[in-house]
Amino acid sequence: MRINIKILTLMMAVIVLLSLIGTGCGASSAIQEEMFPADTPAAEAPAYNESVEKEMDYASAESAATEEMAEAGAADYINTPPMERKIIKSSYIELGIETGQFQDTLFEITRLAEQHGGFVSNSESYSNAEGMLTSGRATIRVPSDRFDQVLDIIKAMGTVNNISMSGQDVTEEYVDLESRLRNLKVQEEVLLDLMEQSKSVEDSIQVQRELSNVQGEIEVLQGRLNYLDNLVSFSTIEVYLTEPTTVRESSSWGFFDALKRGARGAVRVFNGLISGIIIMSPIVVFLAIIGVIIWAIVRSVKRRRQRKKE
């Protein structure tokens, strides 16, 4: 359609030029009237030209964006130095400490994290039967370059009963997210330029819709990158502290304890007897009734015999 307009315009220019040279302005007017009828609205041709120019602008902008993203990707591939590995470090350690040292050790771990630029993300404490805090756990976050140093200091605070360390490599995911984010930002710039060039409400709405989708994806990718940066920059150390459990021996002879145990035993025996009597009472009553009947019969027989003898 664009080619036909260009050819038609060129033909019109040649015909008008020949008409001016040969026959004057009258023939030129006739040709113009034939090519553009009188019933055609005057604003139709300019509007069509504007739409053609708009399509050319969108096409050129899209082509420029594609070329820009390709050049950016090629430049990144050629010029970008090898990325440092992104490793998420974490450790879990069970530490035995001396009796009565739990609170002091927990405070020392908290202060250790703060001294090395970290912080405590979570802590829990547990008490024994006497209400004393004797065990618990603390989770600290420290800069990754201080991870080994802080871990060695914690191990020296007591006896290590168990320890485990892990490292998760997220370099590949990080590089992929960065690449996708760069491409989306290029698309955002192109859409912002198109927004400024839009000459109608419909075009503005369409560009705005695409721009909102791109910006939403940018926020998601940027949030994930920030999350990975935080996990990589600050390593996690979870420490479980516990004091030894002591068995206290009684210093007395245990007379009152023995008396209590004897009384409890007597009460249990008495309760057993009462329970046995209650369980056996129906049988005892039944046997007693039978015994009374037998005794009455025997007595009656004896009386009859005595009467016969008399």
pLDDT tens for each residue of 278-307: 887 788 778 888 888 888 888 888 878 777
Question: Tell me, what's the pLDDT at 15?
Answer: 57
The dihedrals phi and psi of 80, each to the nearest 5 degrees, come to -70, 125
Q: How far apart are CA 247 and CA 231, in angstroms?
A: 43
| Sheet architecture: strand order including 119-127 | 119-127, 133-143, 234-242, 87-96, 159-169
User: Which parts of the chain register pLDDT below 70?
Assistant: 1-83, 246-257, 310
Q: How far apart are CA 9 and CA 13, in angstroms?
A: 6
Question: Tell me, what's the pLDDT at 247?
Answer: 52
Q: Which candidate, 177, 154, 176, 179, places its Cα nearest to that of 165?
A: 154
Question: Tell me, what's the pLDDT at 232?
Answer: 94
Q: Which of the 8 DSSP states describes residue 199?
A: -
Model pTM score: 0.53
* Cβ atoms 240, 161 nearer than 8 A: no
Question: Tell me, what's the pLDDT at 221?
Answer: 95
How many CB atoms lie under 10 A from the CB of residue 194? 22
pLDDT in tens, 115-164: 999 999 999 998 887 888 889 999 999 999 999 999 999 999 999 999 99
